[in-house]
Amino acid sequence: MKHITPLLTTILSIMVSVAFAQTANEIATKQKIDSLRLAGLSEYATRYPLLRQGAFATDIMGKGNVKAELNGKDLYEGKLKITRIRSFFNVPVAQWGRNAITGTISYQQTNFKTDEIKSYDPQFSSMDRSLTKSTVGFTASFSRTDSIFHQEVRYSAGISGLTNEASSIKRINYIGSVSVPVLRTQYSSLSLGVVALIDPSALSPVIPVISYWHKFKTPGLDLYADLPQRIVLRKQLSKKSWVFAGSELGGNFFFFDFNQPSLPRNSIYSTVDIRTGGTFEYLLTKKLVIGVSGGLYTTVQSRLYADDVKSSDYFFKSQNGSVPYMSLSLSFLPFLKSLTSR
């Protein structure tokens, strides 16, 4: 190296400086693009809460009537009050081209408090009861946007595990979906698709899905119909606040381990519910959203069944009716970049 001439040293220095400048420019450009992507995704996530980075919520349901049956016979009736804590966090694992891998962690804890019980079975006590159940979920999903005959197609496939203990995964489900945009204008869009489920308790292995958006002439008013999950109107109140009004379909999943000869040892308790009402959200910081919801909470289906059969083969069911509810939430707009990208 000591024989390098001053001219050559100058040339090498210039080459290194140019290469460094090019690399710095590429990094800056990529960071700007990533920032714009996150900004666009954040704006999109204000309309689709499931696309947010994460969320924490507390639900309080009013006390309502409940009537339960065991093996087709009346078991009890009384008053039921439900409180729930739920959360999820999305992690963008990898992204390359039109492909992406995402991981999701979810947690839910629900307390069922039943009182004013009237028993119809001598073996079932009329004393007040309080039961708390927790479920942890892990999901890994792959998605890709492609085209067939010049038509855009979106694919996704995922595997999820559910458990209520730290030592093992008690339930594994598989899901796949295909959706095709069939309409896209300045004021409307429509996508059609199907979701396929590999789940022992699923009533149907295939579910059709419809996603429709329409922007009304009224400033800041949009309709979102993502069937069968939700149909809501969204009104932008200000730059940092908006409201949703409509109905959303949801569900809950819990594990039971019975030690009674007459009941399946490993059982699953699942519910299907509909929330009808309104949600007000406010952008507290650049990425932090607070919200308050209220309305009517209706339990459409509530069943207990063995873990290796369909939910239609239940041995316990309850009728809960409709009650008022209130929910407080704290959620985060997307702020994490993919752990790996190319």
Could you tell me whether strands 54-61 and 230-238 are parallel, antiparallel, or unpaired per DSSP bridges? Answer: unpaired
Q: Which residue has the higher pLDDT, 98 or 3?
A: 98
Residue 219 is given by DSSP the state T
**CB neighbours (10 Å) of residue 217?**
6
**How far apart, in Å, are the Cα atoms of 42 and each of 17, 63, 89, 333, 337?**
37, 37, 15, 5, 12
pTM: 0.85
Nearest residue to 249 (alpha-carbon basis) of 267, 266, 225: 225
pLDDT of residue 204: 83
Report the pLDDT averaged over residues 68-74.
Answer: 96
Is the pLDDT at 294 greater than 90? The verdict is yes
Is the distance from CB of 137 to CB of 104 less than 8 angstroms? yes
Average pLDDT for the chain: 88
* Residue 20 backbone dihedrals phi, psi, to 5 degrees: -65, -40
Report the pLDDT averaged over residues 39-66.
Answer: 92
How confident is the model over 77-96, as pLDDT tens digits? 999 999 999 999 999 999 99
Q: Which residues pair with 301 in a beta bridge?
A: 272
How confident is the model over 89-136, as pLDDT tens digits? 999 999 998 999 999 999 999 999 999 999 999 989 999 999 999 999
**How far apart, in Å, are the Cα atoms of 98 and each of 101, 299, 333?**
11, 39, 22
pLDDT of residue 13: 39
Distance of CA 129 to the CA centre of its chain: 30
Is the pLDDT at 174 greater than 70? The verdict is yes
Is the distance from CB of 56 to CB of 87 less than 8 angstroms? yes
Nearest residue to 233 (alpha-carbon basis) of 248, 255, 253: 248
Instruction: Please report where in the chains the tokens 């059709």 appear, as a residue.
Output: 208
Report the pLDDT averaged over residues 252-268.
Answer: 91
Kindly report which listed range (15-29, 151-165, 167-181, 197-211) carries the lowest average pLDDT score.
15-29
How confident is the model over 180-213, as pLDDT tens digits? 999 999 999 999 999 999 987 777 899 999 999 9
